[in-house]
Chains A and B, each alone.
Chain A
Amino acid sequence: QQPVQSPQAVILREGEDAVINCSSSKALYSVHWYRQKHGEAPVFLMILLKGGEQKGHEKISASFNEKKQQSSLYLTASQLSYSGTYFCGTETTVGNEKLTFGTGTRLTIIP
């Protein structure tokens, strides 16, 4: 089942913050975040496994809610290099190594 991402697109000025959400109707085993720049392959950012988990570093971080049905990606003080499409990928059950991606959020950073 495909996770739902929001917003579909966002435009920010350099230095502004953004939040991208990923939600599922069922509890998830894990959630993965990837970034894809135009014309390139998706690149792994991070994976979250535990309800209530937060990880990442100061500028790019993510959280996984207690029910393990929603994850958010936080981009702080955005830089031009953050532009791209962000995807969340989800595994729904233990032992089913099927990584299903959301439809993506296109992030554009302008100077």
Chain B
Amino acid sequence: DAGVIQSPRHEVTEMGQEVTLRCKPISGHDYLFWYRQTMMRGLELLIYFNNNVPIDDSGMPEDRFSAKMPNASFSTLKIQPSEPRDSAVYFCASSPRTGGPLTEAFFGQGTRLTVV
């Protein structure tokens, strides 16, 4: 497997524009996580899915953020409208199901978002 694939790797957009980040998890993994990383706040969990169902979105900053997982091989994180404070690296990660505690989370290479 090629690992978790995120696109685009870099995105520069103007304030007010819509931004869509994409993620393809590792095949067979049941859990998908979206994280945001900044210098000030570190790695923040935004939302996670189990079997394509959103389980906890309490980390989503506000209504401008939304995430979907229409099938087991694809997820999107959308920001509309974008603001300069959304600038960060956004990581997607997936993890296999164990029936117990989480095991290793495999991270994608991230999308570096810059909102000007």
Question: Which A residues are within 8 Å of any B CB, using their own CB?
Answer: 2, 29-30, 32, 34, 40-44, 47, 49, 87, 89, 91, 94, 96-104
Quick one: which of B45, B50, B91, B104 contacts A47, CB cutoff 8 A? Answer: B104
The residue in chain B whose Cβ has the minimal distance to the Cβ of A44 is: B104
Give the tally of cross-chain contacts (CB within 8 A): 59
Asked if B42 and A102 make an inter-chain contact with CB atoms under 8 angstroms apart, the answer reads yes
B34, chain A: closest CB distance, angstroms: 12
Give chain A residues whose Cβ lies under 8 Å from the Cβ of B103: 47
How many positions in chain B have a CB within 8 Å of any CB in the partner chain? Answer: 24
Which of B11-19, B67-75, B106-114 lies at the binding interface?
B106-114
Asked if A41 and B102 make an inter-chain contact with CB atoms under 8 angstroms apart, the answer reads no
> Nearest 9 A-B pairs (CB), nearest first?
A41-B107, A103-B42, A101-B43, A44-B104, A30-B101, A42-B107, A97-B102, A104-B42, A41-B109
Give Cα A98 to B59, complex, Å: 11
Give chain B residues whose Cβ lies under 8 Å from the Cβ of A40: 109
Quick one: which of A29, A44, A100 contacts B45, CB cutoff 8 A? Answer: A100
Give chain A residues whose Cβ lies under 8 Å from the Cβ of B50: 97
Using A87-B43, A98-B45 as known contacts, say yes or no to A43 and B101 having CB atoms under 8 A apart. no
Asked if A98 and B43 make an inter-chain contact with CB atoms under 8 angstroms apart, the answer reads no
Asked if A101 and B45 make an inter-chain contact with CB atoms under 8 angstroms apart, the answer reads yes
A53, chain B: closest CB distance, angstroms: 13
User: Which of B55, B91, B104 has the most chain A CB within a 10 Å cutoff?
Assistant: B104
Using A41-B110, A47-B101 as known contacts, say yes or no to A98 and B42 having CB atoms under 8 A apart. no
Using A42-B43, A42-B107, A100-B45 as known contacts, say yes or no to A91 and B91 having CB atoms under 8 A apart. no
Asked if B108 and A98 make an inter-chain contact with CB atoms under 8 angstroms apart, the answer reads no
A50, chain B: closest CB distance, angstroms: 11
Give Cα A42 to B110, complex, Å: 10
Can you report 11 residue pairs joining A to B where beta carbons are below 8 Å apart?
A30-B102, A41-B109, A49-B101, A87-B43, A94-B101, A97-B48, A98-B45, A98-B48, A99-B105, A101-B43, A103-B42
